[in-house]
Amino acid sequence: MRRRSLGKLAGVLAGVLLAGGCSLPDGADETDASGTGPVTLVTGRDRAGYLQGLLDSWNAGHPGERATLVELPDAADEVRAQLAEGLARGSDRFDVVNLDVVWTAEFAEKGWIAPLDTGMAPAGLLPAAVGTGRWRDRLYAVPFTTNVGLLYYRSDVLAAEGVQPPRTWPELERLAREVAPRHGLDGYAGQLLPYEGLTVNVAEAVGSAGGRLLDDRGAVAVDSPQARAGLEFLARGVREGWIPRAALGYREEESRQAFQDGRLLFLRCWPYVYPQAQGPGSAVAGKFGVVPLPGPDGPGTSVLGGSDLAVNSRSRHGRTARDLIRFLTGRDVQRRVLTEGGLPPVRADLYTDAELVRRHPYLPVVRQALEGAVRRPASPEYQQVSLAVSAAAYEALLGRSSADEAVARMAADLKSISG
């Protein structure tokens, strides 16, 4: 009850915040795509504290078009709720919106963000990342950061056992089941709490087995042997104990901490873990490595993460907003996204930059994983899609339903959502 009350209060406060600027009445359109002037960039919490420095650089060269940073709360669901409420009211409080890649379809479909010229996404950007900003064959957002799931492993433990990092699910299962206990470790963990993280882990397992949740047309495709095999891989791990039951409560940070504290042999997580696990106070600094996710009989499939930059369709300074996006996706700034923000950049050539690879040795692995990565289902109802997937999958992980039953429930719920 307390959690729901706080959520409602947050929604009310969000409406006040987002409507605090000039708000347009329903049906009005005062967008000025050629307008110039001060702009505001809204984003979720900047945990690395690097965004203000990027805007300071922009402001130094554009005194008449200064950019102001506004940070919303850390939780992605709350950020989306606040953005959706304000944009739905026609607020022009924010000009450039930093969106999670899974929100682009919804925001574009509802007219909250403006279509962009294809030249906003030049050839130097990663093609897979550019795809996350498209909806109905039009570009609505430009990738700012990208992300991809990776497998972290204890290199010291595997070296002591004389084995290589796993390339397949059977290898991962055997090492997690047999080797981890000999070294006082849990075997494998991902983000298995029922939220967006579990949806991602399920999508990767299903994709690695050759299945999909939705097809390219948005039709439900999850009711397949491949999807059942992917979910069973995770459910079997919990059932047999090589995935600890504690992982059923893990989000990104809990799973990172478990690995960084030296409690896990293997971890599925995002690239941001690497510099933190190598940092001061880490129990595994210098004792771990990273490889692409494994699949049933070879390389697996990772799911794309990251964020896209879009222009509020009610922005009065649309030209400046677009120019700011070009600045933030330029090569020099993208280099700083990696070196100061610790996030994978969207400029392809940075992944082969010798100096950057020396400082960030995981970059080639990230690039390799990106080449085979897939988008999460593109749907204006993505929030409902994610909830349906994570809820059904969690029942299977808890042992309350079989993988077959959970997949059947997913299929029925997804068909209901898609109408």
> Mean pLDDT throughout 132-155?
97
3-state secondary structure of 198: helix
End-to-end CA distance of the chain: 31
Read off the amino acid at residue 364: P
Q: If DSSP codes are grouped into helix, strand and coil, which group holds residue 71?
A: strand
Q: 68-122 pLDDT, tens per residue?
A: 999 998 778 789 999 999 999 999 999 999 999 999 999 999 999 999 999 999 9
Tell me what pLDDT residue 266 has.
99
Each residue of 227-241: b (16+ CB within 10 Å) or e?
bbbbbbbbbbbbeee
- In this prediction, residue 28 carries a pLDDT of 35
> So what's the pLDDT on residue 363?
97
- pLDDT by residue (tens digit) across 390-408? 999 999 999 999 999 999 9
Total Cβ atoms within 10 A of residue 4: 8
In this prediction, residue 31 carries a pLDDT of 58
pLDDT value at 6 more than 90? no
More confident residue, 336 or 19: 336
Going by pLDDT thresholds of 50, 70 and 90, the confidence category of residue 217 is: confident
Which segment of 5-19, 255-269, 345-359 scores lowest on mean pLDDT?
5-19
pLDDT for residue 389 is more than 90:
yes
Q: Tell the residue number behind the tokens 């709720």, with chain if given.
A: 81
Residue 1: what pLDDT?
A: 35
Element (H, E) at 368: helix 363-371
Element of type H or E holding 147: strand 142-148
203/214 Cα distance (integer angstroms)? 10
* Predicted confidence (pLDDT) per residue in 338-377, tens digit: 999 999 999 999 999 999 999 999 999 999 999 889 888 8
pLDDT of 386 over the 90 cut:
yes
Question: For residue 152, which phi and psi values (nearest 5 degrees)?
Answer: -90, 145
The pLDDT value given to residue 77: 79
Decide which of 47 and 171 is more confident. Answer: 171
Question: What pLDDT does residue 29 have?
Answer: 42
What pLDDT sits at residue 144? 98
Q: Are 124 and 348 in contact (CB under 8 A)?
A: yes
Average pLDDT for 169-180: 98
pLDDT at 193 over 60: yes
How many H helices and E strands in the chain? 18, 11
Q: Return the structure tokens found at 192.
A: 């298995």
pLDDT computed for residue 33 by the predictor: 80
pLDDT by residue (tens digit) across 305-320? 999 999 999 999 999 9
Range name among 14-23, 299-308, 396-405 with the lowest pLDDT average:
14-23
pLDDT at 131 over 50: yes
What integer best gives the mean pLDDT of the chain? 92
